Every structure is written in structure tokens, then in C-alpha cells.
Amino acid sequence: MPQCSFHPGVETEMRCAECDRPICPKDMVLTPVGYKCPVCAKPKRSQYTYVKPKQLVGAIGAGALAGVAGGFLLGMIHLGFFLISIVWGMAVGEAVRRGSGGHRGPVLAVVAAVCIVIGSLVGQLGLLAAVLGSLGAVSTLSWTWSR
Ligand SMILES: [Zn+2]
Ligand SMILES: [Zn+2]
């Protein structure tokens, strides 16, 4: 008999309707398509990709601050332009993530990108810095999208 994936040593005939791993009655979660394991029963898109308005406000505030302050600073130093633009973008992405309470996703990536574009205008960094910065921010905010 197969053993429960969540409780080693517990034998079971039940399987998750989605991933087919063995589950014991303790783990079964009833869904419209049958019993599932606790992992598959969770909503597919992480709750962290759904952003509440209040969290969005926090994200925009943090992103705007990091974007404008960073853009201003970058405009003043002119050092290691390409690399710093990406690092700046990642920092803005991280600020947006923290400002929103740890969220990621397309909405926040757009917020970060807009903040970077504004920041690059403030610092007169040019299009290339805006693009590189946006890439950095999007990479920071996007790695869990596909889960
Ligand atoms: Zn499953
Ligand atoms: Zn179990």
C-alpha cells in the first residue's frame, strides 16, 4: 500500500485528484473536482499576487520614493551606469515589494516600472537607464508569477 505523502508511515489508498500523490483522510480537502491534497487545494495563484488597495498605496509610496530618490542620486554620480541602473531597478522593486507587505506580481511590477521611469526623468538618466531599471524591478517582482 502506498504511504501518505504528508504522514510517513500512514498507509492509504486515497490519492489527490490533481497531483495523484497518496494522501490519508487527515489531508483530504473536498473541492468541486474531488478530494485534493492540502497543497493542490490551495488557490493556484499565490495570495501574494493579489494586492489590496491599501497595500498598493504602500507599494506606490515606497516605489516612488526609491525611484525618485534613486534616479536623482544616479543622475548626480554617473558611475557604473549600466550595472547601477539594474541594481537601482532591483532596489525599487524590493521597495515596492516591502511597501506592499511582501507582495509580487504584474500589478506591482507595473508600479515599480512607472516609478523607475519617473525617477529616470527626475535624474535625467535617459531611456536606457529606465529600461534597465525596469528590467531589474520586474525580475525582482516576478519570480513567483508562474507558481
Ligand atoms: Zn495534490
Ligand atoms: Zn496524511
The pLDDT, as a whole number, for residue 52 is: 83
Give the ligand whose atoms come closest to the C-alpha of residue 27: 2
Give the ligand whose atoms come closest to the C-alpha of residue 37: 1
Residues 6+ apart with CB under 8 A from 22: 2, 3, 4, 5, 12, 13, 14, 15, 16
> Residue-wise pLDDT tens for the chain (147 aa)?
899 999 999 999 999 998 999 999 999 998 888 899 998 887 665 555 677 888 889 999 999 999 899 888 888 876 656 778 899 999 999 999 999 988 888 889 999 999 999 999 988 888 888 999 999 999 888 765 444
Give the ligand whose atoms come closest to the C-alpha of residue 8: 2
Instruction: Supply the pTM of this predicted model.
Output: 0.62
